[in-house]
Structures are given as structure tokens and as C-alpha cells.
Amino acid sequence: MLARIPQTRALHWLGRQLFNRNDPAAFFDPLLETLNPMLVQGQTLARVEQVIQETSDTRTFTLKPAARWAGFQAGQHVNICVEIDGVQRTRTFSLSSSPELWAKQGLVTLTIKRLPGGLVTNWLHDNLSEGQVLGLGEAFGDFLLPEPPQPVLFIAGGSGITPVLSHLETMAAQDFRAPVTLLYFVRTQQDIIAAERLHALERRYSALTLRIIATDESDKPRYLKSQDLSTVPGLKARQVYLCGPKGLMDLANKQLHEHGIRKKDIHSTFFSTAAPALNADLANQVLGGKVQFGKSNLEASSEGDASLLEIAEASGLSPRHGCRMGICHQCSCRKTSGTVINRLTGKASGPGEESVQLCISIPHGPVTIEI
């Protein structure tokens, strides 16, 4: 029997017969974990090589992924998995280093801000130290640099600088010649994340113009102004990259639109879900509706722009999720009927069966979800 099927299929068949496992290579993981956790086969692990305190509430973790990790492109994210009180927790973070660091030294960095009340970010700050390991997923995401190179404007706020750091390090390493401007908004000068890296980039990378704007160091808060955009040379020819808090993202989108920047030239990645970007046909319609959770035999009603994930959690359910921002797709599930609005694109789904992301889907009338 085994001679008639390919070797890999034969191995999986034998593993299922002997060990009752779909992944026989992971059978020895408990033993390997005690000898060298980086050798386990059931998941890709990364070892913490260094921890750097960037600000009072932000740390950079330098990680060495197992050799089989596939690498990444500047601006992408990864899921990390840690065990907290016996429960596996998964969250999504942007990589803050360049792919060159991975290629040359086998290292990557995650720059993570402690969130008030945040389960995973607080645990990482309080417990993750050099020598420990965590689960590391493959990189994903399309917050990528333009090809071929074009003039770029980055607008970042707070910890939204993390994927931008990856971009800038990559641009400097690749001698990206087009003009690059960074408008970086922080509360105070003490809240600048990776200040040394940013100023070092400014010194060695002649195409970069760096402006750090403190919002809370005067009597009146200092937000993004129209004149900040007006002073960017050749603004309309730039590809614009946004990452930061919801308020900054919404304000930047509004002002960029007023300056005539086309929607297709604006690239965003979210640390919190943006306000619903409803198109003209939907802007004046009422959102919300009755939600039937098919597998759980529960029903709930909502009004406004609450997501299906928020409605499910308010109903006592605990669907799988990660980033809560439409990035990681861990909360994807089957919609069997009804229409939802994607809050990132403002587009309505079809009325029939399809896969939707709970965290960015807003019911638009009655909806049935298989959770």
C-alpha cells in the first residue's frame, strides 16, 4: 500500500496510524521542547534576543525566528502566540525592522506599546524577557512600499510608527531615491518611539525629511493641520501611508481629500478600527439589525456601527479573533444570509452565503452568522 502513494502522503498516513496525528513530525515536540524549543515542528517559534525600553510604555523585542520562518516584506504584520494563564492568546503586530536585518542576521523586531487594560501587551511587557520563546506566524499584509519607487509621505501617530520604521530602514538600505517625508505625531518629546533610530536615519538618508510634532506640549492641543500638508513638496505626486490612532487617521483622510489626493494613492493600516467609510448610497441609511448566531442558537439586535464581533461578545460568545482591525482574518466565519457593511471599504456584501470578517463587518438589516 505504501509503495503506491508518494512519500509525504505515506508519512502522514503512517503518522495517523501510529500516533493518531495529522502532523507526525510534531509527535516528538514535547521532547524537543525540553531540549531546544526552536526545533519543535507543531508551530514556528522565535526566541527573544534583546528587549529595549523605547519609552515609558513601549518596548522593542528583538526576536530570532526558527530557520524555517519564511521572512517578510517591509510594512507587513505577524501574529504572535503566547500562553497566558493556561490559555493560548494570539495578537497581530507590525514588524518594525527591515527585511535586511532578517536576511543578514536572522533577526526581526516587534515594537509594542503597553495598552491600558490590554491583556497581551501588558503580559508581554511584564513577562517576556531574553531567552524566552513565543509562537510566530508567517508575515502578511499589503501595506507595502510602491514599486517602482515614487515620492512618499508618511503620516504616523504614536505606536503607528512601527511599520514606518520598517519602511524607512528598507528605503535607506535600498537607496530609495524618491523624496520621502515623515510627519510623526507624539504627545510629548518623551513619547518618541525609536528616537535614536529616526534621527540616525535622518542623518544618513538624504531623501528623508523628518518632522516630529508634539501634540500636548502647549496649552492648546496641536493636531494635523492643512498647512502641514501644504508644506510637503509635490504633495499630489506622493503615495501616502497612514498609520496611527483613529482620530489621526480620520483627520488625515479628510484633509488629504481636501488637498485633492486620490483615494487610490492613500494606503492605511490600522491600530484601531477606522470609522465606517460608507459610500454615498449607504451614508444616509441606518446601520444595525437583528443578528442570528446559527450554531449557538442565539439572537441579538444592534443599532449603529457595532461590528459582528462586538455584538457576539456582548451576547456572551467568544469567537476566535486576533487584531480586531481587519488585518489577521482570524475572525473570519460564514455568513449564511443577510447583508453586512465592510467598515474599511464602506462596501456592502451580497445577501447570500460568503465568508466575512466579524471585526469589520456591520450588520445592515437581519444577518445570520455560523458561530
Mean pLDDT, rounded, of the chain:
86
Residue 249 in 3-state DSSP?
helix
Where along the chain do its domains lie?
A: 1-33, 43-136, 152-270, 288-369
DSSP 329-357: -TTEEEEEEEEEEETTT--B--SS-EEEE
> Is the Cβ–Cβ distance between 235 and 259 less than 8 Å?
yes
Q: How far apart are the first and last CA of the chain?
A: 40
The pLDDT of residue 280 = 52
Q: Which residues pair with 154 in a beta bridge?
A: 182, 241
Can you give the pTM of this predicted structure? Answer: 0.74
Residue 326 in 3-state DSSP?
coil
Of 260, 100, 252, 236, the closest CA to residue 179 belongs to: 236
CATH of span 43-136: 2.40.30.10
CA distances to 15, 101, 336 from 93, in Å: 34, 18, 31
Q: Which residues pair with 93 in a beta bridge?
A: 78
Confidence band of 229 (pLDDT split at 50, 70, 90): very high
DSSP 257-319: HHTT--GGGEEEEESSPPPP---TTTTTSPPEEEEEETTTTEEEEEESS--HHHHHHHTT---
The pLDDT of residue 152 = 98
The pLDDT of residue 283 = 53
The pLDDT of residue 86 = 87
Strand ranges across the sheet with 208-214? 208-214, 180-186, 152-157, 239-244, 266-270
Of 151, 154, 156, 148, the closest CA to residue 238 belongs to: 151
Identical fold for domains 43-136 and 152-270, yes or no, is: no
CA distances to 136, 143, 168, 263 from 171, in Å: 25, 14, 5, 23
Q: Dump pLDDT digits (tens) for 286-337.
A: 688 899 999 998 888 877 778 898 888 878 888 888 777 787 788 999 999 9
Mean pLDDT, residues 211-222 taken together: 92
- Which range scores top for mean pLDDT: 35-49, 57-71, 278-292? 57-71
Of 90 and 32, the structure prediction assigns the larger pLDDT to: 90
Of 346 and 148, the structure prediction assigns the larger pLDDT to: 148
The pLDDT of residue 20 = 52
Q: Which residues pair with 62 in a beta bridge?
A: 50, 109
- Which range scores top for mean pLDDT: 18-22, 88-92, 114-118, 205-209? 205-209
Of 16, 62, 63, the closest CA to residue 38 belongs to: 63
Amino acid at 148: P
Q: Dump pLDDT digits (tens) for 247-257.
A: 899 899 999 99
Cell numbers describing residue 240 = 501616502
Which of 141-150, 203-212, 282-291, 322-331 has the least mean pLDDT?
282-291
CA distances to 101, 269, 284, 367 from 174, in Å: 13, 23, 47, 48
pLDDT of residue 100 exceeding 60:
yes
> Is the Cβ–Cβ distance between 308 and 339 less than 8 Å?
no
Which CATH number is 288-369's, of 3.10.20.30, 3.40.50.40, 3.90.1150.10, 3.40.50.261?
A: 3.10.20.30
Confidence band of 12 (pLDDT split at 50, 70, 90): low
In whole angstroms, give the CA distance from residue 341 to residue 125: 36
Fold type of domain 152-270 = Rossmann fold (3.40.50)
Of 88 and 105, the structure prediction assigns the larger pLDDT to: 105
Confidence band of 281 (pLDDT split at 50, 70, 90): low
Residue 132 in 3-state DSSP?
coil
pLDDT of residue 350 exceeding 70:
yes
The pLDDT of residue 3 = 43
> Is the Cβ–Cβ distance between 303 and 335 less than 8 Å?
no
Q: Dump pLDDT digits (tens) for 51-79.
A: 999 999 999 999 999 988 999 999 999 98
pLDDT of residue 285 exceeding 70:
no
Confidence band of 38 (pLDDT split at 50, 70, 90): low
Confidence band of 346 (pLDDT split at 50, 70, 90): confident
Mean pLDDT, residues 200-206 taken together: 96
Mean pLDDT, residues 211-237 taken together: 94
